Amino acid sequence: MSKITIGFQILPYVAEDRLYEVVDKVISYIASKGIRYEVGATETTMEGEFDELMDIVKKSLEICTEQGASRVISLVKIDYKKTGVTIEEKVGKYRK
């Protein structure tokens, strides 16, 4: 399978005043993975192999429960083409 892009939103059930703190831990973890990513207001976009990205999603869920979340809701939006999809082709022209 070629590269895909995903939009990833994560909602840990912690006290609301700890929400950004826990989400920041997830973003730090994503930043450590060496893939292309972009932090947006309601999701983080990532580009990579399907299995690699789903491993990141899984570990992110676990980071939230390690941080005390009683429940984690997450939304993963997948964009897949046989020939691959990149973040650049999607937002490049809006950033110049």
Please tell me what DSSP assigns to residue 83: T
List contacts with its own copies (CB under 8 A).
1, 5-7, 9, 11, 13, 16, 19, 27, 38-43, 45, 50-51, 54, 57-58, 61-62, 65, 70-82, 85, 87, 90-91, 94
Rounded least distance, CB 64 to its own copies, Å: 8
Asked if 8 and 60 count as a contact pair (C-beta separation under 8 A), the reply is: yes
- Count of other CB atoms within 10 angstroms of residue 38: 14
Of 16 and 34, the one with the shorter C-beta distance to its own copies is: 16
Q: 58: exposed, middle or buried (C-beta count within 10 Å: 0-12, 13-18, 19+)?
A: exposed
Of 33 and 38, the one with the shorter C-beta distance to its own copies is: 38
Rounded least distance, CB 50 to its own copies, Å: 5
Asked if 48 and 4 count as a contact pair (C-beta separation under 8 A), the reply is: yes
Rounded least distance, CB 61 to its own copies, Å: 5
